[in-house]
Amino acid sequence: MRAEASGTADAALLERLPPEICTTLEAWLGNARAQSILASLRDPAEIMTPDALAAVKPSSLSIIHTLLRRMTANRWDISRRSIAVDEIGNGHAVYDLHAEGHDFSLIVRANWDGEEKPGRRMDRSVDFFLSMVSGLADDALINRELAGLGIPYFGGRTDSKSFGWSAANRSQRSFQAVVDTLASGGMPDIDELTRNGGYILRNAGFYGNGRAGAANWLSIPSSAHPFSESYHMDLFLLYMWREIGLDFAEAIASRRAGKPCPLDPQLRRYLGVGNSSGLGMTCALVRWPQWVGTWCLMREIALAYALTHPCRESDETKLAEKVARAVQFYTETPGPAHGLTAHPVIAADLAVVADKLEAWRHGDPASRDWRGFYESLLPAIGRDALEQVVSFLIDLHPDFVERLSALISGRMRRSRSVVPAMTLGTLKRLLMRDYRWALDIDMQSQDSTWHFWYHSEEAGEQRRGERHIDSHAEYETFVDVIRPVQACFAALNAASEDDNVGHFLLTRPDLAYIVSRIQFLEQEPYGEVRGNLIARSFAPIKLIRFLLSVFGFESGLPKSAAWVQGVLLQGAPTPDEIRAGRLRDWRMPLRSNWGSNWDMAT
Amino acid sequence: MKSNATVAVSYSELARQGIHALRGLGYSFSVAERAAHTLAATEAATGLGLKCLLSSAPQIEAAMAKAMTVATPAPGVTHIDAGGKSLLELSPFLLDVASADAERLGRSAVLADNLDGMPFVADLALRAAAQGRRLLVFYAGGTALPAAPAIFRVENGQIHGGAVDARPFWPKVTHGLEGSSLSAIVPVLQAPAVEERGRLLIVAGTEDAHVSREMPERDAHRAEPTWQAADAWKPAFDRAIQSQIDTEPAGFDFFYQCVRRIWAPTSERSRAQQG
């Protein structure tokens, strides 16, 4: 699929932009530059479809990158206090974190029963469990958490001393290979590890924000706290699983060999942490439109800033280097076999980008501008490659990205509520302005309402059923936005425009959710995924892939239409590097550079 | 952690799982989403949210099919016969009506009769405080965990008031409204009310009509029941956000029984698709 329209903001989009964002841009950059940026934003109709969102690629705005920048800039100090493990892998460990004047402990328990786990929330057991607590844990708290750690659905509970529990499972083939090789005095085969995903431990979920009695997310201050940014704690724990998995592998091997068996530091750095993402991620994107709206708005502003920035040779050189590396990365890294764009296709398109960039750089400097370059790509490459270029353009401006990143958490923390004094006439105008796309979808056919989303007893989270086959459609969740919008529109057509929302909802309480959503997104142009998520044709992997990119996953392997496996943090800085304040450009680590100048290249 | 006496629960857990629990009781998603916050806030503020859910579940389910009647005897004056519905369900909606009319007209009165679940009035106060509303609330009765006659005021984000000794309660309130711009509510208040079924009056706006703004501080001095000490609601709520709620196991267990009602088995066909 070729990329489409370039996007220059029309009046309707400008009207919907959050005023505080416009004011902030003006304060940062002056009125003329701010207006130029705002006028360059892409049309939500162009970029908020599932197909378009599936193509989004990680950038320096992605959460793992904002986290690692913060960790490095503030020299977070991660240390292992203790580790005790037997030859099989049963044991425990305690890690301490000193970050920005705060102390935390991570209490880890490992159990190995010989069986590889699928990693679902309703699995009866996991291979690794940890509790992250505030302050440096004493023996009493360590022992309490070690004894209490258990799957919440089966009775495991903690209290507000813990920020939450995280679980992980072995990727048994790789984990065992690393342990066996180390114990016998060798070093694991990187090619074999790469073929098996590039990790030895797979994330199995975070039970935070109050789950199982843990502390509320709201108890963390919105600033001046190492975990004040949304999802930083979740991804920090992923970072720690990477370290914990490798530490346990070394410890088990050492126990067997009776001597220290350290992994090659380069190999430690190359390995990441695995992750399986399913349908629950799709639901989260609908449930929290302020997250989607914020992530996408910041990305679009960052792109518009880059496109309106003067050309500099240094930027052009950096972009050429990034594109060249990406061609190599997509060539050598396993990618989707179905459902998403294959890596060879992206690599081929990026090779076209490299050629066009080279030709463009040799053109007349006076007539060169980034918008012109971007627009020249539109007819030539697919959406995935275009979004990869978008990410690279954003990355050329780290200072601006840093400023934008600081706006994200506050916007994500906002909550939706009814605005009761709004007249129904105003509400109807908002609905017609912002949800025309939803009103235009025919929801009468069987295929358009084929699926329903429900809370699965087996999976412990949301799943999709087939409306005409499966039971429990009466407990359908909130994922379908289109039919409530259409129902609201019909109800508003039958009501007086002078009435207010408060009185309207008293008689139509079933519409409170969609009314508050319409009101909340009045100035959130990128908040809504513009697609029918209950249609027979909808493939959830598209939205799962989008959210993984927001987190920072560079590749993902779809296992079905609703399940994506990925690896995160390959090449990421080690705790020693973070403690020393050293942040390499670790994106897109290249296997082909291993053994030569891999360290420099990544 | 679960001890014999209490279970440590977070506000977030109640608000998140509360949607499932209340859908399990039969509410629509829209209503359940708002009521989950009502439940969590009430548990945080009074410790009675889950207990009230447990004790009034049959009434909640019975009232679900009953219609409310809504009358507007004058602009800014609304009278609702709640048909036995719970304040768990209606708290945000009643506040919306009072707030919308007060914004439009400067003042408003919303009277709800035949209303159950009075402990959830704490949520109404907390919502009003969070939204910066200014209002007086008078309430009494209900069947499950009935309330003593009580008054509270919300102003500048603060909540003051509590249960009162003064009787007759409603005639006194009525007297305060006579001759005011909200006097259209007076005949309704004077009509015989079945107090034990629950009555709540919200007077909202930039002026409080002729109702004395000093009433909560002046009249609310009964020490019992303690859950109606409105001054304590916001500090208790804030403490719950910062730490946890220690709740009784019976209410907590019932809460999760309700949650599990909406968990559905995954069909083989559906499972095969998900990978």
Distance from CA of B223 to the nearest CA of A (A): 31
The pLDDT assigned to A402 comes to 97
| CA A232 to centroid of chain Cα atoms | 11
Tokens at A46, concatenated: 């162009």
Contact state of A210 with B10 under an 8 Å Cβ cutoff:
yes
pLDDT category at B271 given cuts 50, 70, 90 is low
Phi, psi of A281 (to 5 degrees): -70, -35
Average pLDDT, chain A: 92
In the numeric block, which tokens belong to residue A599?
């360290």
Residues of B in Cβ contact (< 8 Å) with A219: 241-243
A106-136 pLDDT, tens digit per residue, is 999 999 998 888 777 667 789 999 999 999 9
Q: How far apart are CA A428 and CA A443, in angstroms?
A: 20
pLDDT of residue B2 exceeding 60, the answer is: no
- Could you tell me the pTM of the whole model? 0.93
Q: Do A213 and B99 touch (CB under 8 A)?
A: no
Interchain proximity A454–B70, CB inside 8 Å = no
% of chain A with per-residue pLDDT over 90 = 77
Give the model's pLDDT for residue A594: 63
Contact yes or no for B270 and A470 at CB 8 A = yes
- To the nearest whole Å, the CA of A417 is away from the closest chain B CA by 9
Q: Determine whether the interchain pair A418/B92 forms a contact, defined as Cβ–Cβ distance below 8 Å.
A: yes
Is B154 a residue whose pLDDT tops 60? yes
DSSP state of A169: E
Q: Tell me how far apart the alpha carbons of residues B205 and B207 are, in angstroms, rounded to a whole number.
A: 5
Query: Is B30–A158 a contact, with Cβ atoms under 8 angstroms apart?
Result: no
Distances in whole angstroms, Cα of residue B26 to Cα of each of A485, B51, B64, B90, B92:
22, 18, 8, 15, 18
Q: Between A596 and A388, whose confidence is greater?
A: A388
pLDDT tens digits, A65-94:
999 999 999 999 999 999 999 999 999 999
CB contact under 8 Å between B99 and A502, yes or no, is yes
Mean pLDDT in residue range A182-190? 95
CA A320 vs. chain centroid, Å, equals 26
**How many CB pairs lie under 8 A apart between chains A and B?**
175
Residue in B16, B98, B274 closest to A560 by CB: B274
Residue of B nearest to A564 (CA): B275
Q: What was the pLDDT predicted at A446?
A: 94
CA distance A583 to chain B (A): 34
Residue A200 CA: distances (Å) to CA of A176, A177, A274, A600: 9, 9, 7, 24
Is the pLDDT score of A463 beyond 80?
yes
- Whether the per-residue pLDDT at B207 is higher than 80: the answer is no
Mutation site, A469, A513, A559, A560, interface B, largest B CB count within 10 A? A513
Judged by CB atoms closer than 8 Å, whether chains meet at B10 and A506 is answered as: no
- Comparing CA positions, the residue from A243, A250, A253 lying closest to residue A576 is A243
Model confidence at B208, pLDDT cuts 50, 70, 90, reads low
Which residue is it, tokens 């209900």? B142
Residue-wise pLDDT for A313-359, tens only, equals: 999 999 999 999 999 999 988 888 888 999 999 999 999 999 999 99
Nearest to B10 among A215, A510, A562 (CB): A215
Q: Which of A93-102, A278-287, B171-180 has the lowest mean pLDDT?
A: B171-180
What is the phi-psi region of residue A472: left when phi exceeds 0, alpha when psi lies from -120 to 50, beta otherwise?
A: left
